[in-house]
């Protein structure tokens, strides 16, 4: 599993989407436009894109934590590269 692309949004508040990320789970599955959202307690969580008011996918807690960590790392790298 790897992050293909991370695009910081420039948002800085609580509960803001700080980046959009594209993820390759394996050679057969990729998801695009996942949202990395900063929580009020400072943690970051990953969310799948939505179709209307419904998410297009959900993740188990362990997978969500792993995806969030990878996405946060890619987001920080993209922010650093952009400065």
CA gap 60, 21 in Å, rounded: 18
User: Could you tell me the end-to-end alpha-carbon distance of the chain, in angstroms, rounded to an integer?
Assistant: 27
Q: For residue 81, is pLDDT > 70?
A: yes
Measure the CA–CA gap between 13 and 10, rounded to whole angstroms.
10
- Residue 58's domain comprises 2-82
| Total-model pTM | 0.85
Q: What is the dihedral of CA 6, 7, 12, 16, to 10 degrees?
A: -80
Question: How does pLDDT run across 3-37, given as a tens digit for each residue?
Answer: 999 999 988 777 789 999 999 999 999 999 999 99
CA–CA dist 60, 12 (Å, integer)? 27
Whether residue 82 has pLDDT greater than 70: no
The tally of domains found in the chain comes to 1
pLDDT at residue 83 tops 60: no
Is the pLDDT at 59 greater than 90? The verdict is yes
Mean pLDDT over the full length of the chain = 91
């Amino acid at each position: 599993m790897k992050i293909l692309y991370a695009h910081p949004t420039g948002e800085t508040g609580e509960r803001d989407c700080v980046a959009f990320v594209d993820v390759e789970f394996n050679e057969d599955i990729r998801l695009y436009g996942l949202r990395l959202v900063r929580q009020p307690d400072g943690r970051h969580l990953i969310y799948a894109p939505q179709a209307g008011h419904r998410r297009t996918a959900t993740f188990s807690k362990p997978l969500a934590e792993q995806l969030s960590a990878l996405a946060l790392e890619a987001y920080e790298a993209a922010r650093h590269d952009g400065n």
